[in-house]
Amino acid sequence: MLDHLIIGFDKALRTVFANAQTVRPVPGDSLPEAELSEEERRLAASLMRVNHCGEICAQALYQGQALMSKDEGIKRALEGAAQEETEHLAWTERRIAELGGRKSLLNPLWYGGSLAIGMLAARFGDGINLGFLAETERQVEAHLKSHLDRLPEQDVRSREIVEQMKTDEVAHAETAERLGAVDLPASVKTAMKASSKLMTRVAYWV
Ligand SMILES: [Fe+2]
Ligand SMILES: [Fe+2]
């Protein structure tokens, strides 16, 4: 348990403070930088900050869930998804820098909160734990879809990243469903939506 905690703490520090690495090429890397007005650039940077923040939360959630899950297969699936979330983290981080924006100042807070939620979800057993994962990913998918409506049409470099993330999140949800995710009660889904709305609203500005 102590080993896991030390590894977990190390992961937390790296997620929040270090630059993430990507194995896959960054989506849209070969596309040219778009002509953006100052306002469009600010909007795109803010939306990508929200997405980056979401990926910080995803990392923490999965870490919390993997830490507490007793099933090796589920642990591996969670760690596999977390690996792709690290890539999402790297892609959004780079795009924020390209747009001249900055990451959320509250990332340590988001990380801590999500870690606690992940650990809590895992205490309800594997079905609920996976159900929580699946529902999170479905909500993220819907959220990314809404960003595709809001991002400037010509900002193809941001759009490609969001598109690929959306594809990956759908795959994460499907993995969780295959492994036996339980459909969560509507009240839980609503509470999850409310808390992610709070996060996305705040991260848009801070
Ligand atoms: Fe992600
Ligand atoms: Fe995901």
The DSSP-derived string for 42-104 is HHHHHHHHHHHHHHHHHHHHHHHHHHH---HHHHHHHHHHHHHHHHHHHHHHHHHHHTT----
**Structure confidence at residue 85 as a pLDDT band (50, 70, 90):** confident
Domain span at residue 139 reads: 37-205
pTM above 0.95, yes or no: no
Residue 16 has pLDDT above 80, yes or no: no
Rounded Cα–Cα distance for residues 36 and 78 (Å)? 38
User: In this structure, is residue 5 part of a structural domain?
Assistant: no
Q: What is the pLDDT of residue 9?
A: 67
pLDDT digits (tens, 9 = 90+) for 154-200: 999 999 999 999 999 999 999 989 989 999 999 999 998 888 888 88
Quote the CA–CA distance of 89 and 98 in Å, as a whole number.
14
Question: What is the mean pLDDT of the segment spanning 34-61?
Answer: 93
Provide the pLDDT for residue 104: 87
5 — pLDDT class (breaks 50, 70, 90):
low
Residue 189: inside a domain = yes
Residue 17, in any domain of the structure: no
What mean pLDDT comes out for the span 21-50? Answer: 93
65: in domain = yes
At 202 the pLDDT is 87
Ligand closest to Cα of 88 equals 1
Residue 21 lies in a domain: no
SS3 state of residue 196: helix
Q: Within a domain: residue 1?
A: no
- What is the Cα gyration radius of the chain? 16
Number of domains in the chain: 1
Here the tokens at position 56 are 């910080």
CB neighbour list of residue 160: distance below 8 Å, 6 or more residues apart? 27, 28, 31
- Residue 51 CA to ligand 2 centre (angstroms): 11
Query: pLDDT tens digits, residue range 104-146?
Result: 888 899 899 889 988 888 888 889 989 989 999 999 999 999 9
Instruction: For residue 78, give Cα distances in angstroms to 83, 97, 111.
Output: 9, 29, 17
d(CA 79, CA 198): 26
Residue 204 has what pLDDT?
86
The Cα–Cα gap between 85 and 102 comes to: 19
**Binding site residue list for Fe cation:** 55, 85, 88, 137, 169, 172
To the nearest whole number, what is the mean pLDDT of the chain?
89
| Cα-to-centroid distance, 187 and ligand 1 (Å) | 24
pLDDT of 195: 85
C-alpha 3/C-alpha 201 separation (Å) is: 36
Average pLDDT over residues 2-20: 72
Q: How far is the CA of 169 from the centre of ligand 1 (A)?
A: 6
> Distance, CA 132 to ligand 1 centroid (Å)?
15
Return the CATH number at 54: 1.20.1260.10
What would the mean pLDDT of 6-31 be, rounded to a whole number? Answer: 80
Give the pLDDT confidence score for residue 11 in this predicted structure.
Answer: 73
**Is position 50 within any domain?**
yes
Ligand nearest to the CA of 174: 2
- Does residue 70 belong to any structural domain of this protein? yes
Query: Cα of 35 to ligand 2 centre, how many Å?
Result: 30
Q: Which residue has the higher pLDDT, 3 or 140?
A: 140
Confidence of residue 99 (pLDDT cuts 50, 70, 90): very high
